[in-house]
């Protein structure tokens, strides 16, 4: 049988498999037994270390770029130096790609409280796991930025500590909207790239999940660095704010929590109840039981 014939015959089989696919059961809201499992603590440690490494590399890149483009420190041609905004975006997107690839099989590779929150709303993780992940991510971020300050103490405070701030000329509403939309793009990509039904249906199309997730982070940074410096990750924002600990870093800091959490919630609702027709299934179940 030729390749084209295999693909044609595979269409019916793929359709049959998709119809027979059953979603995994939702994670329990509170799973006390999970607290006695080593796999949970191993995953929490993985989230801590991954977020630490993420913040260390990315904030060090931001500080290095600002130093390289500082005319008073690097000379008259400083404006042409450094990795540029494109390089910063690559640092964030590339590190997410690497770290999600490394930790996906252990913790799911969240590395972001907004991602964890979105997956919790979709009942992919329990409340216990979500809380521990978010705490580990925030602590990891603080430690990661702390390493940057320890190694680059001469430049850390001078160049703003890599903290997220609302750029001059932009309103709070614009900054909030940028964070909501940017996080929506990221969390929507996470849901799409890790959707087990899609993997079962499109098994003939190999997709490395960390790759689209890393590209989503990269693209969002290109769009929102000029507005907010790009948060879309509350751990990233609070890590830099705690270590820099400057009034400017805490001013409008709420944007970098509210925006990502709202964007993640919208993405979870959109994927689960619109694209996956969760609302229609729930309504059909209600009618059949009536």
Provide the 10 A C-beta neighbour count for residue 71.
11
pLDDT at position 18 is 46
pLDDT at position 203 is 56
Higher pLDDT, 39 or 69: 39
* 47-64 residue pLDDT tens: 999 999 999 999 999 999
pLDDT at position 280 is 56
Higher pLDDT, 87 or 25: 87
Position 289 pLDDT exceeds 60: no
User: 81 by DSSP, 3-state: which?
Assistant: coil
Position 223 pLDDT exceeds 80: yes
pLDDT at position 45 is 98
157 token code pair: 């405070």
Higher pLDDT, 278 or 33: 33
pLDDT at position 70 is 78
Position 98 pLDDT exceeds 90: yes
Q: Which residues contact 117 (CB under 8 A, 6 or more apart)?
A: 130, 134, 261, 264, 265
- The CATH topology of domain 32-274 is Glycerol uptake facilitator protein (1.20.1080)
pLDDT at position 261 is 98
pLDDT at position 184 is 98
pTM (two decimals):
0.85
The average pLDDT across 161-187 equals: 97
The average pLDDT across 70-93 equals: 77
> pLDDT averaged over the chain?
86
d(CA 164, CA 184): 18
pLDDT tier at 241, thresholds 50, 70, 90: very high
pLDDT at position 92 is 97
pLDDT tier at 281, thresholds 50, 70, 90: low
pLDDT at position 21 is 64
pLDDT at position 72 is 72
Q: Which residues contact 93 (CB under 8 A, 6 or more apart)?
A: 214, 215, 216, 217, 218, 219, 221
The average pLDDT across 126-143 equals: 97
pLDDT at position 197 is 74
d(CA 255, CA 40): 30
pLDDT tier at 27, thresholds 50, 70, 90: confident
The average pLDDT across 239-258 equals: 95
Comparing CA positions, the residue from 272, 190, 261, 174 lying closest to residue 226 is 174
Q: Is the CB of residue 187 less than 8 Å from the CB of residue 244?
A: no
DSSP state of 82: S
255 token code pair: 């944007």
pLDDT at position 130 is 96
Residue 159 phi, psi dihedral angles, 5° rounding: -110, 25
pLDDT at position 12 is 43
């Amino acid at each position: 049988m030729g390749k084209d014939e295999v693909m044609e015959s595979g269409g019916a089989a793929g359709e049959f498999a998709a119809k027979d696919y059953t979603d995994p059961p939702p994670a329990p809201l509170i799973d006390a037994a999970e607290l006695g499992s080593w796999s949970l603590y191993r995953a929490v440690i993985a989230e801590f270390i991954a977020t630490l490494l993420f913040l260390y590399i990315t904030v060090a890149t931001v500080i290095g770029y600002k130093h390289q483009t500082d005319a008073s420190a690097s000379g008259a041609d400083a404006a042409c130096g450094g990795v540029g905004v494109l390089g910063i975006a690559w640092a964030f997107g590339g590190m997410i790609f690497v770290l999600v690839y490394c930790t996906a099989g252990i913790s799911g590779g969240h590395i972001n409280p907004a991602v964890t929150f979105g997956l919790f709303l979709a009942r992919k993780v329990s409340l216990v796991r979500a809380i521990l992940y978010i705490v580990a991510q925030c602590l990891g971020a603080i430690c990661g930025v702390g390493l940057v300050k320890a190694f680059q103490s001469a430049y850390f405070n001078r160049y703003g500590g890599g903290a997220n701030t609302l750029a001059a000329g932009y309103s709070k509403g614009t900054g909030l909207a940028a964070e909501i939309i940017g996080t929506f793009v990221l969390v929507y990509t996470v849901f799409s790239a890790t959707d087990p039904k899609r993997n079962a249906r499109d098994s003939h199309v190999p997709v490395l999940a960390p790759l689209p997730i890393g590209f989503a982070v990269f693209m969002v940074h290109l769009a929102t660095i000029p507005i907010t410096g790009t948060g879309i990750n509350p751990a990233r924002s609070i890590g830099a704010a705690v270590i820099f600990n400057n009034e400017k870093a805490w001013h409008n800091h709420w944007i970098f929590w509210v925006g990502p959490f709202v964007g993640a919630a919208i993405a979870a609702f959109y994927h689960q109840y619109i694209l996956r027709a969760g609302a229609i299934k729930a309504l059909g179940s209600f009618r059949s039981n009536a």
